[in-house]
Amino acid sequence: MSTEPTRPRTSVVVDTDTGIDDALALLWLAGREDVEIAAVTAVYGNCTVEDATRNVGATLAVAGLSIGEGGIPVSVGAAGPIDGRPAHFAAYVHGHDGLGDLGGDRPEVPVEPRTAAEQLVHLAASEPGQHHLLVLGPMTNVAAAIELDPDLLTKFASTVVMGGSGPFPPLGVAQIVDANIANDAAAARIVFAAPRTLLVTVGVNVGAGAIVDEAAVERLHASPTAVGRFSAQLLESYMDFYQQVWGRRVSPAWDGLAAALLVVPGWITRSEDGPVGLVPDGERWRAHLLRTAEGGPVPFEPATRPGQPAPDTRVVLEVDVEAFLADFLGVLAGDGRA
Ligand SMILES: [Ca+2]
């Protein structure tokens, strides 16, 4: 039995391509007593949309949450980018099943009759201002929902996306791949142009600095809770990948950081508001805060909304990583909940 929290709970709708860091974000949200997961919408990205949907079910089951009638509604979304290009999956990062091929039980889950885009429109219209939208995968579902309701993002209390590359880096500085933008730049273009209450990017510019290390994973292995031990297994698989590409056994928190900054915006220590545009970077696309050399905004009309100035997006630049990691790992490890 738990007592009713004294603060109102933050109601979050999670749009996710449930891979490893998405699963950890869901487990953290589920473990916070001040958060209610109002609905989950699945999208392709780290894996197929079918796997992402199963992974939502498997992850919420570990957290003791049910899906469907009496539980959290889960909707199936896009299977590929909004312009019809084939999807690209990251099996080398998240395993073939999206959750590191751990071999656990991933049964089919009961899903809503509404598609993900329809569900986002429905939730926003029926309870405007009540929910926050957390976007953890390619923005295809959200863009499809904006095509159904151009004012969609004005009906969410805030929208936080794991994506973007922040401001342009100094010349010659290499940047980390921004998969959520690169996977569907056309959808991202629609989202960054849409009117909104508040749109926040938690991009690769800050996610790469929020690192779960081996000591943290050992702590999770020793956790008395199923959530803690499942988190440790997921992180071991993630670290196998980062060992290869970053040369050390670490895991950036990525989606977990975006979830955390939605719920606790006080952990954002520096941000800048301005227009975000899609820019090419080799064969991929990025979303950058567009500034002149003097630091002023670069005004432009988004191609998806001609005649309208690009609205401001809040771009996160610095984070209280210590406070975030202490809470993130504490919740996942089940501190005080054995
Ligand atoms: Ca994700």
Residue 3 lies in a domain: no
On whether residue 2 sits in a domain, the answer given is no
Q: Enter the pTM of the model.
A: 0.95
Cα 308 to averaged position of ligand 1 atoms, centre (Å): 30
| Ligand 1 centre distance from Cα of residue 99 (Å) | 11
Q: What is the pLDDT of residue 5?
A: 52
Which amino acid would we find at residue 251? S
In a domain, 1, yes or no: no
Distance 92 CA to ligand 1 centre (A): 14
Q: How far is the CA of 188 from the centre of ligand 1 (A)?
A: 14
pLDDT digit string (tens) for the chain, length 338 residues: 455 556 789 999 999 999 999 999 999 999 999 999 999 999 999 999 999 999 999 999 999 999 999 999 999 999 999 999 999 888 878 888 989 888 888 889 999 999 999 999 999 999 999 999 999 999 999 999 999 999 999 999 999 999 999 998 888 888 888 999 999 999 999 999 999 999 999 999 999 899 999 999 999 999 999 999 999 999 998 888 888 888 888 899 999 999 999 999 999 999 999 999 999 988 899 999 998 777 777 878 888 888 888 899 999 999 999 999 999 999 999 986 54
Ligand 1 centroid–CA 42 distance in Å is 10
Extract the tokens encoding 167. 């401001």
Phi and psi dihedrals of 215, rounded to 5?
A: -65, -40
CA of 176 to the centre of ligand 1 (A): 15
- Output the domain CATH number for residue 63: 3.90.245.10
Q: How far is the CA of 138 from the centre of ligand 1 (A)?
A: 8
Please give the tally of structural domains in the chain. 1
- pLDDT attached to residue 338: 45
Q: Which of 68, 61, 63 is nearest to 107 (CA)?
A: 61
Residue 11 is predicted with a pLDDT of 98
Strand partners, 134: 14, 160
CA 24 – ligand 1 centroid, Å: 10
Q: Which residue do the tokens 């915006």 mark?
A: 265
Domain range enclosing 309: 10-333
Residue 312 β-bridge partners? 275
- Calculate how far, in angstroms, residue 90's C-alpha sits from the geometric centre of ligand 1: 11
296 Cα: distance to centroid of ligand 1 (angstroms): 31
CA distance 262 to 161: 9
Judged on CB neighbours under 10 Å (0-12, 13-18, 19+), 260 is buried
> What's the 307 CA to ligand 1 centre distance in angstroms?
33
Query: What distance in angstroms lies between residue 64's CA and the mean position of ligand 1's atoms?
Result: 21
CA of 127 relative to ligand 1 center, distance in Å:
26
Calculate how far, in angstroms, residue 98's C-alpha sits from the geometric centre of ligand 1. 10
Q: Is residue 86 part of a domain?
A: yes
Q: What is the pLDDT of residue 6?
A: 63
Distance between Cα 135 and ligand 1 center (Å): 8
CA of 162 to the centre of ligand 1 (A): 7
Give rounded-to-5 percent helix, strand, coil for the chain: 35, 20, 45
For residue 277, being part of any structural domain is answered with yes
pLDDT at 155: 98
Tell me the H-state helices in 202-276.
204-207, 214-221, 226-246, 255-263
d(CA 180, CA 274): 20
255 Cα to the center of ligand 1, angstroms? 6
CA of residue 257 to ligand 1 center, whole Å: 11
pLDDT on residue 244: 84
CA of 14 to the centre of ligand 1 (A): 10
Residues with CB under 5 Å of ion ligand 1 are: 17, 22, 136-137, 255
CA of 137 to the centre of ligand 1 (A): 4
263 lies in some domain: yes
Cα 302 to ligand 1 centroid, rounded to whole Å:
25
93 within some domain: yes
Which residue do the tokens 């949450």 mark? 65
**Centre of ligand 1 from the C-alpha of residue 295, in Å:** 31
Task: Give residue 19 CA to ligand 1 midpoint distance, Å.
Answer: 6
Helix (H) or strand (E) holding 192: helix 185-193
Alpha-carbon dihedral sign for residues 293, 274, 137, 214? positive
How many Å lie between the centroid of ligand 1 and the Cα of residue 136? 4
| Residue 101 maps to a domain | yes
